[in-house]
Structure 1
Amino acid sequence: MAIDDKTRTELEAAVFRRLVEHLRSRTDVQNIDLMNLAGFCRNCLSNWLKEAADAKGADLSKDESREAVYGMPYETWKQTYQGTASAEQLAAMKKAQNGH
């Protein structure tokens, strides 16, 4: 597919927004499950957003990048949706951990 850089960037941005919206709607899916299955989670996305902002010289705090992904302050999301990780989940994460 031959598309120009502007269109490619717009498409990638649309996909990112859709992914974020999907994760916001799936509050039943815990970050630890995402990490264990896919190797990334909502926090990873927010960290990547912050890193991209930093690389462009844009002023975006860690809290702001997390709120952009979670759709609310991170602490609010944790209190509302985050469950306690099971021993099995923690063991799987330790085994699969790749620096996140």
Structure 2
Amino acid sequence: MSSATTELEAATFRKLLDHLDSNKDVQNIDLMILAGFCRNCLGKWYLAAAEERDMAITADQAREAIYGMPYSEWKAEHQPPATAAQLEAFAQRQK
């Protein structure tokens, strides 16, 4: 893969994170229902990519890279409990 391709992919990823940060009202469960992944998934993928490259980061550090703040803080400020409808839609997607 060329360095230009890597730069484009990195810029695209940063834009995705900016977009998610600008749309905090979009809940993780809604992302899971609609797209099959959420911010937590991105954090897990970020951690896995770091581990593949022998980079020492923690799961908390990976999530903070995605959320732009500690996950516990983001959750307290931006994540209300899932509604019954969201939980039902999520359960249907899992089938």
Scaled by the length of structure 2, what TM-score is found? 0.95
State whether structure 2 residue 18 is matched by structure 1 residue 55: no
Out of 65, 68, 81, which is 2:78 matched to?
Answer: 81
SS state at 1:28 partner: coil
Q: Percent identity?
A: 53
Give structure 2 stretches of 5+ with no counterpart: none
Q: Structure 1: which 5+ runs fail to align?
A: none
Deviation per residue, 1:25-54 (Å, 9 max, x gap): 111110000000111100010100000001
Aligned residues: 95
How big is the alpha-carbon RMSD for the aligned residues of Structure 1 and Structure 2?
A: 1.2
Distance 1:60 1:95 in 2: 34
